[in-house]
Amino acid sequence: MSSPKSVDAKRPFPLTALFTSVSLVAIVATTVAMVVLIGQQERRSLVARGEDYAVQVANHLDSVLLDEVIGINEGFDRTSPLSRHLLDDVIGRHIKSFRVSTVVLFDPTGQVVYSTDWRLIGQRKSEDEGFQAAAEGRGPFSELKLAGSPAHIGGLPEDRDLLEVYCSSRAFAEAPDEPGGVLELYIDASSLTAELTTIRTRIALITATSMTALFGILYFLIRRAHRIIRAQTQEIEKSNRDLEQTVAERTAELIRTQGQLIEAAQLAAVGTLAAGVAHEINNPLASVAACAEGMLSRAQTAAFRDDPDFAEFPEYLRIIKDEAFRCKEVTRQLLDLARPRPRLSEVVHLQETIADVMVLLSQHPALKNGKIHTDRSQATLVGDPGEIKQVLLNLIQNALDAIAERECGEVWLSATEEGEFVAVQVEDNGAGFTSEQATHLFEPFYTTKEAGQGTGLGLAMSQVIARRHGGRLTASSPGPGAGASFELRVRREPAA
């Protein structure tokens, strides 16, 4: 089971999902910031515009009071009821077209001497910042009061948006060079706040649309980059897997090569020893064989043939002669294993070679109940016909020996051309062998047959011949009693 750390390491990084989340947060944050910042600027601009408008209205009302009320009424008493009605009439007629909701007139001390809202008359605002700024001549002072904020009447919440403006007034000045009080106007600011809301909405829409478009483009680019990075990552991972596989193959090949070198060294050592032994025993074996043949020829005379004491001598002599020649054949094989000999280089038709081998093995006991299946392959190679024939003879004879004890033994032969190589398969359903036995099959003098039935040199010689032809002989078996498979794989033509 893999650890959580390894699972997280294989999990792809959610770049597009992370970018989408960050983008949404950035769009919302940027939109809010733009609405607040630009909204504040627009608010100041609108308030300034409303203030200019209020100043114009205040100046107009100041002139009206001077011209229509105070100027034509000498000794005007602003506290009398008649004076208040006159002011209400004059101011009421002039504020209808100016969206003015309330007019308040202060004397220089900050006391309300007149208001269109009679409840304010007599109140004092000498500590009010707006009043002080206007009374001291520091210009008009304005403040936007939104609906729900405390109003000028008893601090109750206002039911609409108003712009409160303080302007200096000389309508009730005692002398031309004395301050005449302060004029406070409350102007309906619903249009200003509506315009501000519209501006903020537009800012929000424009900012959100622009940011969405920008992040959309970035998302497309990042998505494309992410696909490219992911493709490159997959390619790198594939390259790493291929590299690991190549390293594994090269390592296995190196191990096989090391095994071949060890095997070659073993063969060389055995070959050197075998050559010395063969030379030492060949001459005595020749003498024994010659003596046996001579005594066997003399034993055919009448004197020996009729003597009952020598009746078994001819049989013994034949055994001695046959065994001596058998020993000489073993020494010949040892010498072939030990020393190279000139190789022929001819075209070998495998189908014909297999047919020749089948003729040689036609009397094998296993063929009484067994069968050999061959294909019609036209595969050919360039090599030594005698050596190839010897290898096939060894393989087929071993396969027949393996099925000898079976009632329905079978052997399958096939040859295929695979690029630069030719592969010959010899399979049987015979005795098989273990994995431990498989590691020793190609060692000299190793055999799985019973004592006296094999020299253990056939497969070793066949492996040497396969390597001479630029190939290799391999063997496999599922296990004892499950048959075996041998493959001779050699080059179609000698390597340059």
pLDDT at residue 282 is higher than 60? yes
Q: Find the mean pLDDT for residues 47-73.
A: 72
Most confident residue range from 254-268, 298-312, 429-443? 429-443
Give all strands (DSSP E) within 315-420, no chain letters. 346-349, 371-374, 380-383, 410-418
pLDDT at residue 70 is higher than 70? no
- Identify the pLDDT of residue 77: 56
- Identify the pLDDT of residue 1: 43
- Identify the pLDDT of residue 352: 85
Instruction: Name which of 423, 436, 431, 427 is nearest 473 in CA terms.
Output: 423
- Identify the pLDDT of residue 487: 92
C-alpha to C-alpha distance for 454 and 470, rounded to whole angstroms: 27
pLDDT at residue 161 is higher than 50? yes
Most confident residue range from 30-34, 192-196, 209-213, 475-479? 475-479
Residue type, 26: A
Q: Find the mean pLDDT for residues 93-100.
A: 74
Task: Round the average pLDDT of the chain to a whole number and report it.
Answer: 76
Model confidence band, residue 129 (pLDDT cutoffs 50, 70, 90):
confident
Residues 6+ apart with CB under 8 A from 149: 157, 158
**Tens digit of pLDDT for each residue in 206-263?**
888 887 888 788 878 878 887 888 888 889 999 999 999 999 888 888 777 766 665 6
C-alpha to C-alpha distance for 384 and 469, rounded to whole angstroms: 8
Q: Phi-psi bin for 75: left (phi > 0), alpha (psi -120 to 50), beta? A: left
Which domains does the chain carry?
13-188 (3.30.450.20), 344-491 (3.30.565.10)
- Identify the pLDDT of residue 5: 46
Q: Find the mean pLDDT for residues 67-90.
A: 62
C-alpha to C-alpha distance for 91 and 75, rounded to whole angstroms: 19
Question: Which CA distances in Å does 276 have to 262, 279, 335, 456, 464?
Answer: 21, 5, 9, 19, 20
Q: What percent of the chain has pLDDT over 70?
A: 75
Q: Find the mean pLDDT for residues 323-332.
A: 71
pLDDT at residue 63 is higher than 70? yes
Contact status, residue 163 vs residue 147, Cβ threshold 8 Å = no
Token pair recorded at residue 21:
């989340």
**Tens digit of pLDDT for each residue in 381-431?**
888 888 888 888 888 888 888 888 888 888 888 888 888 888 988 999 888
Q: How far is CA 475 from the centre of its chain?
A: 40
Q: Find the mean pLDDT for residues 113-131.
A: 80
448 or 368, greater pLDDT = 368
Residues 6+ apart with CB under 8 A from 131: 106, 110, 125, 166, 182, 184
Most confident residue range from 152-161, 206-215, 469-478? 469-478
Q: In 199-221, which positions are buried (b, 16+ CB within 10 angstroms) versus exposed (e)? A: bbeebbeebbeebeeebeeebee
Verdict on whether the full-model pTM lies above 0.85: no
